[in-house]
Structure 1
């Protein structure tokens, strides 16, 4: 059978708390797991000093997580995301962010590449060589 690394939900209604568990793929979500390797609290808590961004509490036994990944356990998508935050595995989806100025420049270049065809249909353009006359200097 397949061994999965997944989240098991605990906690009260509207106050979830998850255990990161190792279990068989066909067992129920909250059944007794083979091993509990960490916890995840998705509700952001205020910073300890009162200033700064709130944080989500994640506790993980990294050595056991590496072991289970090494023997072939398959992480679920949320666990994959958590493990990617710890640097244990590569992220599934890479987010490419384009700064606003580059985005505007890319849009401008895209618009410049669009060719507008007149209603008469496509016309062939001929290239002609033009000669420039030297300007007299006074």
Structure 2
């Protein structure tokens, strides 16, 4: 049985509230779970101490048993100091593509030609 430490959604429409639970990976998102480890209330401010509550001791035990946290829960566990999460960053994503570079070079060349023509007259 593969275990996941994940979020189970609660709360009303447009007022989300999540429980951090340990569940079988095959069970539904809001379905049966083995244990509740904490809660996350995204409606609270990011600096609020009650925004994320986790029982770190129980989380460590479940991680030792082989439970895999989802990405969001891994972020919470990293903030709590339970788990070290590698930052996922793609620095090449924001760089312009080949055609954009060609257009920029063409534009620069036109500006240089125009400046040379204006200086030459």
How do 1:44-123 residues align onto structure 2 when only pairs under 5 Å count? 44-45=44-45, 54-55=47-48, 57-93=51-87
How many Å apart are 1:54 and its aligned residue?
4.5
Q: Normalized against structure 2, the TM-score is what?
A: 0.67
**Deviations 1:39-84 (Å, cap 9, x if unpaired)?**
0101124xxxxxxx74261111111001001111000011001100
Distance in 1 (alpha carbons) for counterparts of 2:86 and 2:8 = 21
How many residues end up aligned between the 2 structures?
88
Report if aligned partners of 1:8, 1:21 keep a CA contact under 8 Å in 2: yes
Unaligned runs of 5+ in 1: 46-52, 96-138
Deviant stretches of 4+, over 3 Å: none
Listed as ranges, the gaps of 5+ residues in structure 2 are 90-121
Compute the displacement of 1:92 (Å).
Answer: 2.5
Larger Rg: 1
Tell me, in whole angstroms, the C-alpha distance in 1 between the residues paired with 2:47 and 2:83.
25
Q: Deviations over 1:96-121 (max 9, x none)?
A: xxxxxxxxxxxxxxxxxxxxxxxxxx
TM-score (norm 1): 0.59
Determine the C-alpha separation between the residues in 2 that align with 1:77 and 1:91: 9
The whole-number CA distance in structure 2 between the counterparts of 1:88 and 1:35 is 18
